[in-house]
Structure 1
Amino acid sequence: MSVMKAVRIHSFGGPEVLRLEEIERPEPKIDEILIRVEAASVNPVDWKMREGNYPAVQETDLPYVLGRDVCGTVEKVGDGVAVFRPGDGVYAFLNPMHGGYQQFVIARPEEIAPKPRLMDAVQAAAIPLAGITAWQGLFDHGGLQAGQRVLIHGGAGGVGHLAIQFAKAKGCWVATTVSSVDLDFARSLGADKVIDYKSERFEDAIQPVDVVFDLIAGETQDRSFGVVKTGGILVSTLTEPDKNRATEFGIRATRYTAQPNGPQLAEIGRLIEHGKVGVEIRRVYSLEQASAAQEAIRNEHNRGKIVLRVEH
């Protein structure tokens, strides 16, 4: 039996429930791919799962490996896999059945795309979940088109800083709200209007927009209805917007959960290859430091992404 290192939880709770263990290495079945993981991203959903506050992971799923996106090389493929071969560099947004905080992980071809050649494993691992979340929020749910105007709340975070770049690559006018320490960073990403949310009211700073992409929720979401053009849309990754208020303002409003999508990940990779999208890595931890990485993303101000480097 081949074994590997993995970070698992056996119960829900604080960072202390994360355990580095040796477990059996999986084997790919039909239409599955085994990835040798070189880096795994850390996302807010990870600590929500750890605490038992994410419906996709129930007590019956324990013990459970956390982590939703990885970068590595194809180690082995199951029968029926024709697109990828052992040795291929790939990155993936995993479905909740498999976690990225481990040395090897199973994925399906539709969750995977070729790793961008211009990025190392740590940079590429930071892209999939945040990138697909931004892509689907702006374009699938928001319907953002070239020439339109978008306001992105939380533009310095993992999803937000990619969303700014995607919208600019699409040919849109982009406003974003960030903290004072991130003003120059947001401008460097191409944002046309950067608003310090602590000292300036975004309602007073911009004209109405076609799309509001809400990564903050709460009062920020409540105040956003008034800056959407009639017929426009408010899209949130967090809380369901008030549909009655949306009707009053003559706009649409929706919440969504991002889904793995290899073709979209490949499209993001092409933007990276053309120099239109980059990723900000705030800090890199080892697999053994997964607890500290989760605490950092939960409790500290985060610009860009936090990633675990997976050694073999």
Structure 2
Amino acid sequence: MKAVVIREYGSPEVLQYQEVEPPKIKPDQLLVKVRATCVNPVDWKIRKGMLKLITGNKFPMILGFDLSGDVVEVGSQVTRFKPGDAIYGNVGLLGGAYAELAAVPEKSVALKPTNMTYEEAASVPVAALTALQALQDLAHIQVGQTVLINGASGGVGTFAVQIAKALGAEVTAVCSTKNIDLVKSLGADRVIDYSQQDFTQGTAQYDIILDAVAKQSFSSCKQVLKAKGIYVNTLPTPETIVQSVLTAFIPGKKAKFILETPRSQDLLYLKELIEAGKIRSVIDRTFPLQELAAAHAYSESERAVGKIAIAVAG
């Protein structure tokens, strides 16, 4: 099969499109013909060696976590899927989605939303699960609460705005001038242009602040959190980790960080919201798998609005 492989850490040029052996599935896995995947910031952070304490130095490595495609084969313990099913999900910790075929745990996928293309569906899992689990599992979002999404036009942010609205919150979105109309179209009740106003210096207070781009700290957000407000960061910085431990034992405002977990039940819930027209993917650009290096470079520029999709197989 064709795949994009790295044999060392480095710039986008280390991503090599070549022929490799297809994966062999375990009893609890599916073999999936990948129709589409996408680029998440974690992909290029791994490629650059920024996470080598987790990923190690075992090469060759096939990156990529999100995918959508068709089931080719199922393991002996798989009960919910059969060959031919169209699915979407997250490959999990080991990656492997930048390829024509991928081995995926059954617990990490769900049937693809019927009203999405493969590219749209592949853009959902990591970003939307991060948003959902941050808001629902960590912040315990309630109907009528005030939620601020910092980085509302990015991959996680675009889903976070829509999910918070679907869960009945009043949403304030923070983005740049050029993305105000987009963020409003996703359902934001109020938009703050960060080039004109610093939300951390405002008078409004929020029940939940989700920093989807990890550009603000708990300390800087503290004064605009309500007395029992919760701040969630998408990047586990040393400060956030320390603050999360400290605030866990002290009454009042809490600091937390989200590490997304691929769960089929959450993907099924997102599928319901998508098919009900409450969530959509925002795709900035679609690249073919052969041009993955260009897609990584574009992601690293931090200019992308929403997601960067990768078309894999016809």
Deviations 1:199-232, CA, capped at 9 Å, x for gaps: 1121455521111101233446542111111112
Instruction: Look up the match of 2:243.
Output: 243
How has the CA–CA distance of structure 1 residues 248 and 78 changed in structure 2, closer, same or farther, with 3 Å as cutoff?
Answer: closer
Confirm or deny that 1:266 pairs with 2:268.
Answer: yes
1:255 & 1:87 partners in 2: Cα distance? 37
How far is the alpha carbon of 1:249 from its aligned partner?
9.4
Counterpart pick for 1:31 among 6, 28, 31: 28
* Aligned: 1:89 with 2:86: yes
| Pick aligned residue for 1:289 from 273, 288, 291 | 291
Which secondary structure state, in structure 1, belongs to the residue aligned with residue 162 of structure 2? helix
Q: Is the 8 A contact 2:113 2:271 kept in 1?
A: yes
Q: Which moves more between the two structures, 244-253 or 254-263?
A: 244-253
CA RMSD, 1 decimal: 1.8
Aligned with 1:48: secondary structure? helix
> How far, CA to CA, are the matches of 1:177 and 1:206 in structure 2?
15
TM-score by structure 1 length?
A: 0.94
Could you tell me how far apart the structure 2 residues matched to 1:154 and 1:219 are?
10
Which amino acid in 2 is paired with 1:306?
A: I
1:263-305: CA deviation from partner (whole Å, max 9, x where unpaired): 1011001000000001111000000000000000111411110
**Residue 113 of structure 1: how far off its partner (Å):** 0.6
The farther-off stretch of 171-180 and 199-208 is 199-208
- Identity of paired residues, percent? 38
2:129 maps to 1:132 = yes
SS at match of 2:71: strand
Paired residue for 1:77? 74
Partner of 1:67: 64
Alignment of 1:185-224 (within 5 A): 185-205=182-202, 207-219=204-216, 221-224=218-221
Identify if the C-alpha distance between structure 1 residues 206 and 190 changes in structure 2 by more than 3 Å, giving closer, same or farther. Answer: farther
Give the C-alpha shift of residue 28 in structure 1: 1.9
How far residue 256 of structure 1 moved from its aligned partner, in angstroms, is: 2.4
Whole-Å separation in 2 of the counterparts to 1:69 and 1:169: 23
Change (3 A) 1:86 1:32: same
TM-superposed CA distance for 1:32, in Å, is 1.0
In structure 2, give the amino acid aligned to 1:291: A
Q: Conserved in 2, the CA contact under 8 Å of 1:33 and 1:78?
A: yes
What is the CA distance between 1:128 and its match in structure 2?
0.5
Once residues 251 and 174 of structure 2 are traced to their aligned partners in structure 1, the CA distance between those partners, rounded to angstroms, is 22
Conserved 8 A contact 1:56-1:96: no
| Aligned counterparts of 1:6 and 1:124: Cα–Cα separation in 2 | 20
Q: 1:103 aligns with which of 100, 103, 106?
A: 100
After TM superposition, give the deviation of residue 74 of structure 1 in Å: 0.4
Match of 2:152 in 1: 155
Deviates more, 1:293-302 or 1:118-127: 293-302
Q: What is the distance in 2 between the residues matched to 1:219 and 1:105?
A: 36
